[in-house]
Structure 1
Amino acid sequence: MPTMEDVARQPLAQRLDRMAGTADDLAAAIRGQSDTILSRRPDGKNWAAKEVICHLRDTEELFAGRFELIMTMDQPKLPPLHPSTPDRWAEERQYLRNDAAEALGAFRRRRDENLAFLRGLSPEQSKRGGVHPTRGTMTIDDWVTLIAWHDDNHLDQLVPEDGRRCRYLGAGRVPGAYSFGGSGTLSIFELMSIQPRLRMQASLSLPFGAHSA
């Protein structure tokens, strides 16, 4: 998976194109899977596939709010997302009781709205920023980088190394023996349990589900 630095080096249009493909990638990852499979957590710490989709849906709304602040105020202070907030949302909003298709549809609508906004910005407007309490000043362009990387981080949890193209570098993934289940394959949940801890944890030193966005 590309690093945040890899993503930041890509043209804005390319990062936006990556964001535009996320809903379809999610749909492909869960297509044909039962609610039982999508609701199954691999262990006591990691989310189920359904929770990943709900998380992306809800953070998309968070990002939209930040964009609005940045566009209406000069260098506003941006409210942080506490590392414990995503897990709290998962419990309070009962992610496991959500319908995965409906959650994905809501994510798609919110993402399309954000993309319409972002693609309508002038180069000068994309340089407008706000002050994050831990990340410092971040422009809208910086947030696009973070969102595109965040998408791939979570997609890699659902589709580890098979089938999905890396839109940043234009490189295809090598097909693997991974699937949600079946004879001779590893389910996503089994795979998540035996893989080295997720890349996000390694880079941010946070448990899966924890964020400091």
Structure 2
Amino acid sequence: MTRVLLVDDETLVRAALTMMLDGAEGIRVVGEAADGADVPDAVAACFPDVVLMDLRMPRVGGIAATRRLRARPNPPEVIVLTTFDTDENVVEALRAGAAGFLLKDSPPARIVAAVRQVASGEPMLSPQITRRLMAHVTDRADAARRARAALAALTPRERDVAVAVAGGEGNAEIGAALGMGVPTVKAHVSSILAKLELNNRTQLALLVHDAELL
């Protein structure tokens, strides 16, 4: 028997999920929580194998609740079930330790299958989430390649200055770290911005971060 805890601030959603999952063979809803802040007590009370976790809740959201839960010894698996499918939400939920990410409009059979699959130790993403995640990774990889190609125009010294700028260091700090005077640092920064056709240090910092040099 796979034991499931439902975490969602909408009573009707929890009721619908309970009806769906309790009607599936080998699955039983053993507890509910209306907020991520209530998850630790609910887990301690009902010992679930899988937690179905909403993202947006009044006090503690699903990503924070998942991160805290997965940091505990022998935690249950977590499936995020939400209406919010932005790239940031998907990536942050998976980084927090979620084993699955489904949209609330997923067919009931897919949600049931996800509970069984995750309980058996296999991750589960809905097809549309998989496509979005692949596109996100591809976009990030393309951005990194473009940024690295742009930064290849810099001299090694200019590259050091660019990385220091992206690290939030001021001209005096950069000069002290790289053994040059402040006027020289300013000259390098101006040269870098001109070479890369950038307007300011913030754009330079973003480019360095896109290149994954920090």
Judge same fold: TM > 0.5, yes or no.
no
Structure with greater contact order relative to length (CA < 8 Å, sep ≥ 6): 1
What TM-score, normalized to structure 1? 0.25
Q: Comparing both structures, which one devotes a greater share of its residues to strand?
A: 2
